[in-house]
Structure 1
Amino acid sequence: MPLTIGLLREGRTPPDKRVALTPKKCAEAEAQYPGLHIWVKTSPHRCFSDDEYRDLGLEVCEDVADCDILMGVKEADVSQLIPGKTYLFFSHTVKKQPANRELLRAVLRQRITLIDYELLTNGDGGERLVAFGRWAGIVGAYNGLLTYGRKHGLFALKPAHQCVDMEDMEEEFFKVKRLPPIKMAVTGSGRVAQGALEVLKLMGLRQVSVYDYLYLDFHEPVFTQLRSSDYNRRRDGRVWDTADFHRHPHAYESTFGPFLPVTDLLIACAYWHPAAPVLFTEADTRRPDFRINTIADVTCDVNGSVPTTKRATTIPDPAYDYNRRTGALEPAYSRPDNITVMAVDNLPCELPRNASRDFGRQLLDHVLPHLLGDDPAGIVARATIARGGELMPRYQYLADYVAETANA
């Protein structure tokens, strides 16, 4: 049966350069699914040019309104929504984010079917099938080293967003030769953390155990990976249980204290729940033995697990200083004893071609078979927030969110 997918032009400012399907992935999808045709809305900002799509025989046009399914990356422009269509994008509505309340209202008003990438999982509440997390970790770790190098006048790496792709960025790794015997801690065990670890290993840095990190001195820079059990414990002393930690984060307290006197660069990649403990407090930063001087907050939870993350930063202006004595924010690299924080909230956008290739591969392997087929596992159904002007049953909790006034 003939079916058309339209790739949207990203409408946010500044424009997001990523795309859900690269030219090669579009061609591969058309070859894999007879009757499928993919149209590409023209864009001057996309990391893959219009001509790169045309060169593979794809239709590039200004109007994709006739397509059956419309795919973007970030939230669609409310003014550009087409009634009755099926959309896939990251809607950022399921946590009742105020900024996107009107978007969900418009979806319901216009009887749009909204499928959210974030909700595509391999089971009810299971592992996500498509995500940019690995690239957030890759760019975040690179930015962390870049920030540390700038802060201490050791080396000047080309920003990731000025690199053509990952291969170009790897050429910059050779500049990291004057790194002193510092200690770096990476928190987390998911996609984001794995991306960060990937970069540190590619740089030729040595990974050590948590015990050795805490208690041994080294004559070279080293890093360790900290899982949740390495820096949290139940308040009542019960044995660690990861599933219990995720279900009852309020029952736990931080044990990150021993890492404060031995860590120079913190790369925060762990998912954080608002009820979970923070890594440390602002008061802790004033301790004489607080050693962390550079933080790459890849998760970028403002006022979250890293208390010095007071605001998100941008790709052009990625860092600021936190004054440990006053708690004030100052321009990056203002004083040697400040903590320099990198907290860019859209890190995968710095390597958009790589991130888009990876994302498209995930879509082809794990989502299109269900989206274009019968979806027996309910993967698409679970990720469908709204259809025909109604919230789907599992998202009925959003009813009060869309009913509230905009300034509520």
Structure 2
Amino acid sequence: MTKVKLGILREGKMPVDKRVPLSPKKCLQVLQEFPNAQLVVQPSPHRCFKDQEYTDLGIPLREDLTNCDVLFGVKEVPVDQLIPHKTYFFFSHTIKKQPHNQKLLHAVLEKGITLIDYELITNDHGEREVAFGRWAGIVGAYNGLLTYGKKWNLFDLKPAHQCVDMMDMEEEFFKVKFLPNIKIAVTGGGRVAFGAIEVLQRMGLRQVTVAEYLNEEFAEPVFAQLRSSDYHAKPGSDTWDSQDFYHNPQLYQSTFSKFAKVTDLLMVCAYWNPAAPVLFTEEDMRDPDFKINTIADISCDVDGPVPSTKRASTIAEPAYDYNPWTQKEEPAYSSTKNITVMAVDNLPCELPRNASVDFGRQLIAHIMPALINGDTHGVLERATIAKNGVLTERYQYLHDYAMGTLEQK
């Protein structure tokens, strides 16, 4: 039986991402579960797992990966590092015609490459199988609580990126002995939201129903999970139709104001369609009844559903203040009258070891069987943007974008 030669890329995009598609133990698991697979790892001084952690388990390091059939990365591969006629797996960020990656897709076609995007790997119901969303939610919720604590001088937690792993981070939030009887709203129903809820539950915070959240007062901090149906309504309709909302979000209005009146800390974890209404407006934020003072925009849609998210923040400087009256950014924690925003857009990078192990688990479960044993369910076929340098039928709409002939608006 012909061996399938796999290579784990060194991340080349700047700033360097410390995550890996397969941790050392997951590499070993691949070799054990798929005997006709061979695997090498490109050395890296930056990744969260040291080179020696791979070699200690007998995983060979190799600088030159031209002998590999399939190459796995995390972020976009720099154009000058693409090896012609190979099959690549990575997050390409091209399917929405992102301008900054046009040259990347053009190079993929020019070099005869097969590109399979993790973001497009779905099951038969169209649900994503491989993602870092849970870790975005976990780190985002922790950062949100850290931000709230600093804003009100309640506690000062070690930043997530300074924690060795999730266990180390848990030791930090277990230090929180006092949290006032605030209300925390978590929007969304996907991996990101459940990651955030996981942290709140581990901290011992009580989850309440939406009705309780809106109508009752508590002697302890509580949180509620808000779904789209909780803060959207279609004029003239008394019933909620999820499919109609997802297909026609422009027909709906936001009813979030009722939550803004009782919420102290907002954790935004929901996917947002630009055609959908915003949660609230800048004018709403100046209303005396608007209570939210800290926002963890974990989804981080700049100029999206949360008007105070004027830019993505960084791991090094995760927070900034938004002044609702001047509509300008101000230094973080400069005034309690401001709304403090945490909007880091690469949150899983703060716990790279945990995020990488979890990602590798998904990769082995949902990608490796199709790659090594045959793609009988079309899992990889659906996620293939280009095959041997030609856009597949599903992604023909990217042709003008890839060729650089897309009309600029």
State TM-score, norm by structure 1: 0.98
User: Aligned equivalents of 2:209 and 2:406: distance in 1?
Assistant: 49
User: Aligned equivalents of 1:37 and 1:189: distance in 2?
Assistant: 38
2:18/2:47 contact within 8 Å kept: yes
Structure 1 residue 367 and structure 2 residue 367: aligned?
A: yes
Aligned to 1:376: 376
Deviation for aligned residue 1:198: 0.2
Aligned to 2:207: 207
Aligned to 2:165: 165
Distance 1:387 1:221, change over 3 A: same
Identity of matched residues, % = 65
**Matched position secondary structure for 1:87:** strand
User: Aligned equivalents of 1:355 and 1:191: distance in 2?
Assistant: 13
**Matched position secondary structure for 2:158:** coil
Structure 1 runs (4+) deviating above 2 angstroms are 403-408
State TM-score, norm by structure 2: 0.98
Structure 1 residue 18 and structure 2 residue 19: aligned?
A: yes
Deviation for aligned residue 1:390: 1.1
Deviation for aligned residue 1:236: 3.0
2:183/2:262 contact within 8 Å kept: yes
Aligned to 1:49: 50
User: Aligned equivalents of 2:158 and 2:187: distance in 1?
Assistant: 25
User: Aligned equivalents of 1:245 and 1:166: distance in 2?
Assistant: 36
Aligned to 1:84: 85
**Matched position secondary structure for 1:60:** coil
**Matched position secondary structure for 1:61:** coil
Alignment of 1:291-302 (within 5 A): 291-302=291-302
Aligned to 1:147: 147
Alignment of 1:240-389 (within 5 A): 240-389=240-389
Aligned to 2:190: 190
Aligned to 1:129: 129
Alignment of 1:383-398 (within 5 A): 383-398=383-398
User: Aligned equivalents of 2:407 and 2:296: distance in 1?
Assistant: 33
| Structure 2, gaps ≥5 residues long | none
User: Aligned equivalents of 1:407 and 1:205: distance in 2?
Assistant: 51
Query: 1:79-131: per-residue Cα shift (whole Å, max 9, x none)?
Result: 1000000000000000100010000000000010000000000026x110100
Aligned to 2:118: 117
1:136/1:346 contact within 8 Å kept: yes
Aligned to 1:74: 75
User: Aligned equivalents of 1:273 and 1:238: distance in 2?
Assistant: 22
The one-letter code sitting in structure 2 at the alignment partner of 1:146 is L
Deviation for aligned residue 1:405: 5.1
Deviation for aligned residue 1:68: 0.5
1:101/1:406 contact within 8 Å kept: no
Aligned to 1:28: 29
Deviation for aligned residue 1:407: 9.5
User: Aligned equivalents of 2:204 and 2:393: distance in 1?
Assistant: 50
Deviation for aligned residue 1:403: 2.7
User: Aligned equivalents of 1:159 and 1:406: distance in 2?
Assistant: 42
User: Aligned equivalents of 1:367 and 1:281: distance in 2?
Assistant: 42
User: Aligned equivalents of 1:182 and 1:407: distance in 2?
Assistant: 49
**Matched position secondary structure for 1:178:** coil
User: Aligned equivalents of 2:64 and 2:109: distance in 1?
Assistant: 23
User: Aligned equivalents of 1:244 and 1:55: distance in 2?
Assistant: 54
User: Aligned equivalents of 2:399 and 2:50: distance in 1?
Assistant: 40
Alignment of 1:102-113 (within 5 A): 102-113=103-114
Deviation for aligned residue 1:400: 1.7
**Matched position secondary structure for 2:275:** coil
Structure 1 residue 99 and structure 2 residue 95: aligned?
A: no
2:37/2:372 contact within 8 Å kept: no
User: Aligned equivalents of 1:403 and 1:325: distance in 2?
Assistant: 45
User: Aligned equivalents of 2:42 and 2:389: distance in 1?
Assistant: 26
User: Aligned equivalents of 2:265 and 2:163: distance in 1?
Assistant: 23
Query: 1:248-283: per-residue Cα shift (whole Å, max 9, x none)?
Result: 111111010101111000000000000011110000
Aligned to 2:227: 227
User: Aligned equivalents of 1:94 and 1:174: distance in 2?
Assistant: 41
The one-letter code sitting in structure 1 at the alignment partner of 2:8 is L
User: Aligned equivalents of 2:138 and 2:306: distance in 1?
Assistant: 19
2:400/2:406 contact within 8 Å kept: no
User: Aligned equivalents of 1:109 and 1:132: distance in 2?
Assistant: 30
